[in-house]
Amino acid sequence: MYEAGEDSFLIGKYIKKFSKGKVLEIGCGSGYLMEIALSKTKNVKGVDIDKESVEFCRKKGLDVSYSDLFSNVKGKFDVIIFNPPYLPQEEPFLKRNVRERKNLDIIGGKRGYEVIERFFKDVKDFLKEKGEILILFSSLTNKEKVDSIIKENNFKFELLEEKSVGLMEKLYVYRCYRKR
Ligand SMILES: C[S@@+](CC[C@H](N)C(=O)[O-])C[C@H]1O[C@@H](n2cnc3c(N)ncnc32)[C@H](O)[C@@H]1O
């Protein structure tokens, strides 16, 4: 199970600020971000592909189900949160972290953006007309590619924060809306 880290703390600030109405978190891990959202609204649902995370969150009383992205999600939400696995498989200096954590937690695919691409293909069916997405990724994910995935799926984005982590990486937090 993914233990909340620097990425979780960064997007957490904006979850506190923007959570409202019906909230869905994809990839809820330990439930850290769901608990922040619950401090703003009572209606917070989470899903994760990792069964251990689902069990852990349920024991804490959180409303969490097993799902591969939206495969087991029903309904439409005001806010959808995703701190995805966003690192590419082939990043030599990350080998140590990769061994320490399970791949599904942090590896977004061969190039890093594949899970994000799948997410943006499906998310519109689960977002209310004026709904918003809060998502985080890294400079190692390929920012240009992520920006183009968002635009191709008819969303626009606002960069909420950019933060350097270590010498070689930056994290980005985006708020995304439907293009109107
Ligand atoms: C970077 S961790 C974030 C965990 C937690 N939200 C946090 O911020 O601390 C990514 C989470 O996404 C989950 N995940 C990865 N691929 C997924 C998928 N296809 N569908 C649902 N959850 C997924 C992982 O199991 C992991 O819990």
CA–CA gap between residue 45 and residue 86 (Å, rounded): 22
What is the average pLDDT across 103-117?
89
Any atom of ligand 1 within 6 Å of the Cβ of 158: no
Report the CATH number that the domain containing residue 78 is assigned in CATH: 3.40.50.150
pTM of the model: 0.94
Residue 73, ligand 1, Cβ within 6 A: no
Q: From ligand 1's centre to the CA of 1, what distance in Å?
A: 9
Protein residue with least CA distance to atom 2, ligand 1: 105
**How far, in Å, from the CA of 21 to the mean position of ligand 1?**
22
Q: What percent of the chain has pLDDT over 90?
A: 84
**Res 94: pLDDT:** 56
pLDDT band at 22 (very low <50, low <70, confident <90, very high): very high
Q: What is the pLDDT of residues 32-73, one digit of tens each?
A: 999 999 999 999 999 999 999 999 999 999 999 999 999 999
**Alpha-carbon gap, residue 69 to 84, rounded angstroms:** 10
Q: Whose CA is nearest to atom 27 of ligand 1?
A: 29
Domain count along the chain:
1
Q: Which range marks the domain in which residue 40 is found?
A: 6-178
> Is the confidence at residue 95, as pLDDT, over 80?
no
If you write DSSP's letter for every residue of 37-96 in order, what string do you get? HHTT-SEEEEEES-HHHHHHHHHTT--EEE-STTTT--S-EEEEEE----EES--GGGHH
Question: Token pair of 132, please?
Answer: 């918003």
Whether 44 is in a domain gets the answer yes
Q: Is the CB of 68 under 6 A from ligand 1?
A: yes
- Domain for residue 1, yes or no? no
